[in-house]
Amino acid sequence: MSQVKYLIIGGSHAGLSALEVIRFQDEDGQIAMVSREQSLPYSPTILPYVISGKKQTDTILLRDESYFADLNVRFMPGSTVVAVNPAEATVALQSGETIRYEKLLLATGADAAVPPFPGIDTVSYQVVRTLDDALKLRRSIQNAKSAVVIGAGLIAMHTAENLARAGLEVTMVVRRQVSLFAYFDGDAARMIETIFSKNGVRIATGSGVAGIAPEGDGCEVKLESGEALSADLLLLAAGVRPRAGFLENSGIDIDQGILVNESMRTNVDNIRAAGDVAQAPGFFDEGKTINATLPNASVQGRIAGMDMVGDPALKPYPGSSGLNTFNFFDNHGFSVGLATVTETTDNIEVNTIYLPSSRQYQKLVFKNDRLIGVSAINAELDPGVLRELIQREVNLAEIKDRFTSDPLNTGRLLMTKLWR
């Protein structure tokens, strides 16, 4: 049985952020990072571009082997955790190895959700969560002419775009009336859908999947509307589930994800969780939520690492306002905070610029003169600055008219003063 001071399970953004903080504060403590992936750490957000061939595997790596050697970290790729025993402070690997730890970080991310569509177990389908998934899909494209993508989120849209760029006839199936409903309101979503349509991607909205059946070398997807779609490739991009099955009977509290406090601590004192697997305090309400975005994973990982080494500079996790950026068919969009609010009420004000002919959209949402949400398509804005204004709950009453007319420069000027 090996023993380390710090054990990190998961090798993506949250785990790496924690690792760097830990090693900066503790130069000598033994650290091991366990990853079920066979490869070096990579950015999952780039996987759609691996599918299209625009990115090669060596260009998406976040760290190389020398990085771990220089930091004196034992990096363990291809290692799957099967159980955690908090009482004995041990982790069991599928290989049979057991590792004893003093402090543990769970940063295992999430797996693709597979909805129980009738007939799904009778056909071949693909998902995009890992590098192996992306490489498998890239190989499959070579022998395919058509694809059906089931899902309405960013992974679904990114992958649909790259399948279309590879020459496939692509249909997206979206149960709701609009796609990207979690990030954009109806007007913005329809603008995005129009751009997709003009680039050869059909988006079938407002009808769920009634059943799936084999058809030749591919499958037939039957919709609740009665339409039947034939496809050589079927891609499921209908959400994710936190990867926490190995914690069964561990005593670690789990709801939708692993429950943590503002220091990323679980109910077990020497165990933290961060990233897509963590259910942490929210920013806009008192409940705990999962915010599966790259910036949030990095912030949570850094906080977890600081707490593990007892860094006196640690500030509690403030909750995440969410920040999602989206580049598609040479256009760009983003959303942050409560960007899907559409109605003005007594204390909420919505300011919208909607120019479909020029493919421009901008929406600012205020509550009690504080910015709470922004969404935009092809607008000159600074997402990072806007996110800071939301997180800091800056009162904009005195400059709101100027901010509304020029949010880019006014926001940057304001943050320059606040950062001093």
State residue 341's pLDDT score: 83
Positive or negative, the Cα torsion across 63, 14, 305, 33? negative
Domain membership of residue 320 (yes or no) is: no
Spatial separation of the C-alpha atoms in residues 188 and 328, rounded to whole Å: 13
Name the domain count of the chain: 3
Tens-place pLDDT, residues 358-388: 899 999 999 999 999 999 999 999 999 999 9
State residue 134's pLDDT score: 93
Mean per-residue pLDDT, 324-328: 89
pTM across the whole model: 0.92
Angle at CA of residue 224, ends 208 and 153, nearest 5°:
15
Asked if residue 346 has pLDDT above 80, the reply is: no
We report the CATH number of the domain holding residue 133 as 3.50.50.60
Domain membership of residue 91 (yes or no) is: yes
Asked if 252 and 400 sit in the same domain, the reply is no
Boundary of a domain, candidates 205, 238, 271 = 238
Asked if residue 420 has pLDDT above 70, the reply is: no
Mean per-residue pLDDT, 395-417: 93
Asked if 126 and 229 sit in the same domain, the reply is yes
Structural domain containing residue 174 = 114-238
State residue 217's pLDDT score: 92
Asked if residue 44 has pLDDT above 90, the reply is: no
Asked if residue 54 has pLDDT above 90, the reply is: no
Domain membership of residue 316 (yes or no) is: no
- The residue with greater pLDDT, 46 or 264, is 264
Asked if 20 and 85 sit in the same domain, the reply is yes
State residue 201's pLDDT score: 95
Mean per-residue pLDDT, 281-303: 90
Mean per-residue pLDDT, 248-263: 96
Judge whether 352 and 305 are in contact, CB under 8 Å: no
Count other C-beta atoms under 10 Å from residue 106's C-beta: 33
User: Which 3 state secondary structure label does DSSP give 291?
Assistant: coil
Judge whether 42 and 130 are in contact, CB under 8 Å: no
Mean per-residue pLDDT, 148-159: 92
Domain membership of residue 207 (yes or no) is: yes
Instruction: Using CA atoms of 234, 237, 243, 246 in order, give the dihedral in degrees to the nearest 10.
Output: -30
Asked if 103 and 27 sit in the same domain, the reply is yes
- The residue with greater pLDDT, 17 or 282, is 17
Asked if residue 153 has pLDDT above 90, the reply is: no
Boundary of a domain, candidates 200, 215, 238 = 238
Asked if 169 and 233 sit in the same domain, the reply is yes
Q: Which of 197, 193, 172, 128 is nearest to 333 (CA)?
A: 193
Residue 394 token pair? 């800056």
Judge whether 134 and 300 are in contact, CB under 8 Å: no
Asked if residue 270 has pLDDT above 70, the reply is: yes
Asked if 63 and 118 sit in the same domain, the reply is no
State residue 14's pLDDT score: 97
Mean per-residue pLDDT, 393-414: 94
Spatial separation of the C-alpha atoms in residues 116 and 333, rounded to whole Å: 32
E strand residue ranges, 55-186: 73-76, 81-85, 90-93, 98-106, 110-112, 146-150, 169-174
Q: Could you tell me the maximum CA-CA distance found in the chain, to the nearest angstrom?
A: 65
Spatial separation of the C-alpha atoms in residues 335 and 236, rounded to whole Å: 23
Asked if 8 and 32 sit in the same domain, the reply is yes
We report the CATH number of the domain holding residue 411 as 3.30.390
Asked if 32 and 180 sit in the same domain, the reply is no
Asked if 118 and 105 sit in the same domain, the reply is no
Q: Which of 107, 143, 147 is nearest to 125 (CA)?
A: 147
Asked if 14 and 29 sit in the same domain, the reply is yes
Domain membership of residue 324 (yes or no) is: no
Mean per-residue pLDDT, 273-298: 91
Mean per-residue pLDDT, 83-92: 97
Summary mean pLDDT of the chain? 93
248, exposed or middle or buried, with CB in 10 Å at 0-12, 13-18, 19+?
A: exposed
Boundary of a domain, candidates 195, 210, 238 = 238
Asked if residue 71 has pLDDT above 90, the reply is: yes
Asked if 22 and 95 sit in the same domain, the reply is yes
Count other C-beta atoms under 10 Å from residue 179's C-beta: 26
Domain membership of residue 340 (yes or no) is: yes
Asked if residue 185 has pLDDT above 90, the reply is: no
Asked if residue 178 has pLDDT above 90, the reply is: no
Asked if 9 and 74 sit in the same domain, the reply is yes
Domain membership of residue 49 (yes or no) is: no
Domain membership of residue 314 (yes or no) is: no
How would you label 115-143 residue by residue, b for 16+ Cβ within 10 Å and e otherwise?
eebebbeebebbbbbbbebbeebbebbee
